[in-house]
Amino acid sequence: MKIKNWVRLPLKNAYNVRDLGGYACQNGETTRWRIFLRADNLTHLDADEIQLLKDYGVRTVIDLRSREECAILPDPFLEDAGVHYLNIPLITENVADVTKTITGKAPQDFLKSFYIELIEHGQGVIKQILTEIASHGDGCLLFHCAAGKDRTGIVAMLLLGLAGVGAPDIVSNYEVTYTCLRQDSKFFEAAGPIPIEVCMSKPEYIEHVMAHIQGRYGGIPEYLERIGLPHETAETIRRRMRE
């Protein structure tokens, strides 16, 4: 198969692997293809799909899942000599067991508060993730969690915002997640009693955290500066993303 630039990669065993390329930036530039991929769980990829990702340019994988999640469903790139694998859990108390923390809350309220918690209480981890992203060498970097929606969605939002992508495109990038995810029967079997609304990617979920960042910090670049991400690190990521 000839490798092209894909918005969503044609994989049979992962449903939400998408390129962050092709978005218009505020300065007239465009986000580059094959620099960053956002993804869901990769555990069930077969050998051909793993090779396709390598052919697409993947050289680094950042796994945002908890240690427990990784032990239950190992990442196929964990011991791949051709790919640099990092597990940096983007977790708070609320992500450890959603079935417990959602009790008594409306799904939309849970997700909105969860995203704010990641932004406010996960600042050290977010800084670490972006520092690793900036230090990544040539090739494409893939970051993922279990569904490729919440933790992955927050990182994608920050990267796109840092590149100067407008809010409507950031929201639409998040919103399409459920369209991809609902094809994955394994995910919904594993989700068990979690309300279906929690699995959805309604625009108001991500708009809420974006409004919070804008109101409290002045924007995504300002938020990243406030959490201690060095200016040169942010600039490295920005330059890498835009063309």
* In the predicted structure, residue 117 carries a pLDDT above the cut 50: yes
pLDDT tens readout for residues 195-220: 777 878 999 999 999 999 999 999 99
- Specify the DSSP class assigned to residue 88: -
Token reading at 179 = 């369209």
Q: Percentage of residues in the chain with pLDDT exceeding 90?
A: 77
* In the predicted structure, residue 241 carries a pLDDT above the cut 70: yes
How far is the C-alpha of 189 from the C-alpha of 132, rounded, in Å? Answer: 33
What is the CATH number for 74?
Answer: 3.90.190.10
User: Do the domain assignments include residue 9?
Assistant: no
User: Do the domain assignments include residue 74?
Assistant: yes
How far is the C-alpha of 65 from the C-alpha of 55, rounded, in Å? Answer: 25
* In the predicted structure, residue 19 carries a pLDDT above the cut 90: yes
User: Do the domain assignments include residue 10?
Assistant: no
How far is the C-alpha of 56 from the C-alpha of 112, rounded, in Å? Answer: 34
User: Do the domain assignments include residue 3?
Assistant: no
Tell me, what amino acid is at 128? Q
User: Do the domain assignments include residue 5?
Assistant: no
Query: Domain tally for the chain?
Result: 1
Range of the domain at 193: 18-241
Q: How many helices (H) and strands (E) does the chain have?
A: 14, 5
CA torsion 153-217-32-136 (nearest 10°) is: -80
Please give the pLDDT value at position 93: 56
Please give the pLDDT value at position 100: 46
User: Do the domain assignments include residue 2?
Assistant: no
How far is the C-alpha of 164 from the C-alpha of 102, rounded, in Å? Answer: 34
- Is residue 31 a contact partner of residue 156, using CB atoms and an 8 Å limit? no
In this prediction the pTM is 0.92
Three-state secondary structure call for residue 130: helix
Three-state secondary structure call for residue 38: strand
Q: Region 97-103: what's the mean pLDDT?
A: 48
pLDDT tens readout for residues 157-201: 999 999 999 999 999 999 999 999 888 777 667 666 677 778 789
Three-class secondary structure assignment of 214-231: HHHHCCHHHHHHHCCCCH
* In the predicted structure, residue 7 carries a pLDDT above the cut 80: yes
User: Do the domain assignments include residue 83?
Assistant: yes
User: Do the domain assignments include residue 47?
Assistant: yes
